[in-house]
Structures are given as C-alpha cells and as structure tokens.
Amino acid sequence: MSTIHDSDNVNLTSFFVHHINRLYFAKEHLLNKVPELQRISNFKKLNLVLDEMVEDLQQQLNRIELMLNLLDKNLDFEAARSMNNVVDCAYHDIRTGSDNQPTDLSLLYYLEIMEGIEMSCFKMLRMAAVKIGNRQVNQLLRENYDDAKDMRTLLLLIATELIAK
C-alpha cells in the first residue's frame, strides 16, 4: 500500500481548496440569480423547484464553509470569476427567450447543466478528500453530491412534464 507524501498531500489539499472555492462561488452566484429565474419562469412546478433549490444551495454553501473550516482554509474570492462566467453565459440565453415554453425549457436546461457539472466536481473532489484523509469533509461532499443528484432528477422530471404539455 502506498502512502501519500507530505508534499503530495499539500498539493492535493491545494487542488481541493481551489476547486471547492470555485464551486462555492458558482453556487452563491446561482443562488443570487434564483429570484430573477423565478420571475422569468411561467411553469408553477418549476417555481416550486426553484424554492427548493434555494434551500439546497444554502445548505450546500454551509457545508462547503464547514469543509474549509475543517481543513483550516478560507474562502478565496479570486476563485469566483471563472465559474461565474459559465453561470452568466447560460443565464443570458434564458433571459433572451421569446415565449413561455422555450424560456422555461432553457431555464431547465441551464439548471440541469449546472447540476451535472456540480455532480462531476463533487465526485472528483471526493476522490481527493479520501486521499487527504478527512472523513468529515468526504461526508459533507457526499451530502452535496446527493443533493445535486436529487435536484438533477427533479429537474429532468419537470422538463419531461413541461415537454409533454
């Protein structure tokens, strides 16, 4: 069985902290966009999902803050820019929709993409967390992954219903 060297652990922790910061700010940015997304949406069930999303995002942000505290690290505001650009590009496409169904479908598409990205990131970060050796961080990542997975499933169900209308 190989052991991780101290320098490897520092590099892995740096990788983890950098990317968990990026996720944090993307989630925070999305959370700030939800009220406008609710104004844009015309599908009642989608608005209910957005209400649930607010609660999920707040919980996930709290978990990320706890992870950073467990690792004795802080939020890095420089990490905000890159992921926020992804959020803003997709958001622009939603705002320019012309009639109700395409706008709601665009919104669902955008949210589904964001959840998929988050799920992939959480999977990768969980692998890093295992090597870092902090079980609490790994558990918090699992909870965030499970939330993203559940939200993605819910978004797909709402999209199916909207398309079937």
pLDDT tens digits along 51-70: 999 999 999 999 999 999 99
In percent, how much of the chain has pLDDT > 90? 61
| 3-class secondary structure per residue, 127-150 | HHHHHHCCHHHHHHHHHHHHHHHH
The whole-model pTM stands at 0.86
In degrees, rounded to 5, the angle at the alpha carbon of residue 61 between the alpha carbons of residues 35 and 86 is: 60
Q: What is the pLDDT of residue 103?
A: 83
Task: Give 101-115 pLDDT, tens digit per residue.
Answer: 568 888 898 898 889
Spatial CA neighbour of 125 closest among 30, 23, 25, 53: 23
User: What is the rounded average pLDDT of the residues 119-127?
Assistant: 93
Q: What are phi and psi of 133, to 5 degrees?
A: 90, 20
Contact 112, 159 (CB under 8 A): yes
Does residue 86 contact residue 25 with C-beta atoms inside 8 Å?
A: no
Domain range summary for the chain, segments of one domain joined by +: 6-164
CA quadruple 80, 104, 150, 45: dihedral sign: positive
Q: What fold, for 6-164?
A: Ferritin (1.20.1260)
- Residue 106 is classified by DSSP as H
